Structure 1
Amino acid sequence: MNGDDPAEYLIPKNRELAAQYLLLYEMSLPFGLDVTNQINLDKTAMRIMVTFKNLSSTQLISLENEIAVHLNKVESFDFFVTSPSSIFAHLSHNNIRSMLIGTVLAMILIAFVLMFALKSVKLGALSVIPNVLPAFVAFGVWGLWVSEINLGLSIVASITMGIVVDDTAHFLTHYQYAWEACNCNRVDALVRTLEESGHAIVLTTFILMMGFLVLASSDFIINANLGLLTAITLALALVGDLLVLPAILLLPQKRNTNPTNLAT
């Protein structure tokens, strides 16, 4: 039509002409085909499909907001944006927000439980550091490496929290028992703790890491990322329990250098 003039590849400004173009197109379709997958029968609504390169959840939601701002300027025009990518983008953002809130609440509850179990406010409070730090560092490393947190990764902090706190509780329990049993200084108590519980903590963490690394070999990218980030978090948690936590326990104290001061 129009001699294939590139200048005519535009939507007509005249509604009647646009309707004639559409009618001509419908009449030109092969038998059995129609345009009802793009336009409804009474011609009051249509579907516009747009293809993009791979976008992150943040970029996709930002694009949706820009589209909404532009289309809201048109009067008497209703629209909605939908796609599996859009659904998962919003779901990921909601899950990440909920994960952060849930992780904070879980850590507070865990700290109170450890305070009660160890009968020490300071030990319970100190347990927060090696339990929270691995997840923060792991997500930081992942952000530098991949720069994207998908739906599967939003639950990693919650998954690893229960695993990590188990090792911390074992370490602090053995530490508290060591200084009470031998009435020794903090260094000797830590040495005894590492001798008694260090091997078990390393072994259990290594076994769990191997299990999640098997999941990391999955062809399904969400499962693979979940397994890999969880394994990284567990490895960092091991470092936190065996290096960071003892270093914290050895920090100078104001009143008394005896480790029993921590139990007050």
Structure 2
Amino acid sequence: MRVAVSGAMGRLGSAIAEGISNARELQLTGAYAPGHAGKTVGGIEVVDSLKKMNAQIMVECAHPKVVMENLRKWHAREMHVVVGTSGFTADRINELKSFWGEDDPGCLIVPNFSIGAVLMMRFAEMASIHFDSAEIIERHEDTKPDAPSGTALATAMRMGEHRSPSEQKDNTEVVKGARGGLVSGVRVHSLRMKGMLSDQEVAFSNKGEIFSIHHSSTSYESFVNGALQAIRYVKTIKGVEIGLDAALDFDTKNI
């Protein structure tokens, strides 16, 4: 399979490009990064022209500000796309579905390529049914361009499907924002700290017990295996799909 990476000079994009170049059944045929033409990643030259792209599958890792414009380009070229860019809220997903039809080539939105993070999201969804209180604390590097993270958004939306809005008490804040933001009825707290990469805790409680699920990525290498799984999987689907669960053969219907 011929695969290209958009945002190939970013830390996520470059790690995935290297992973593709080392995968036997995949061929890295494009590295797209406007403003970086002539540099190399994954053993190939970076380009800033769509005319030089020769791929069946695009892995989109560009900045959230340009990702929707890019997705329209890949859709027009009838490419399969794996989206690793963060910040896909429900509104942004609906915007994508407004032009990416159910019978179009697969477009897989992946909030987090780490296998451990995928398991964390699934376990959080399962636990959400059984606990009265639930909140998310996510920590990322201070240069991350969006808050909450895509992982936190996806986790909260999945948990919110099993929780009633009436369970969330409206506490008075002495300082605005101290209680975090509400996503699908779940409080999300975003910390931006120097030296962090990707870290998320989902905290639960009932009367008499506390339960916590915690995942950390310490290197961008943690995202490569999941990205390769997503690339192999996206060719088998049509339309927009969210998450790596199906690619990893997790049964999401049995929650």
- Bin the TM-score by the shorter chain: under 0.3
| Larger relative contact order (CA 8 Å, sep ≥ 6) | 2
TM-score, structure 2 length as denominator?
0.25
- Find the structure with the greater CA-based Rg: 1
Higher helix share: 1
TM-score, structure 1 length as denominator?
0.24
Higher strand share: 2
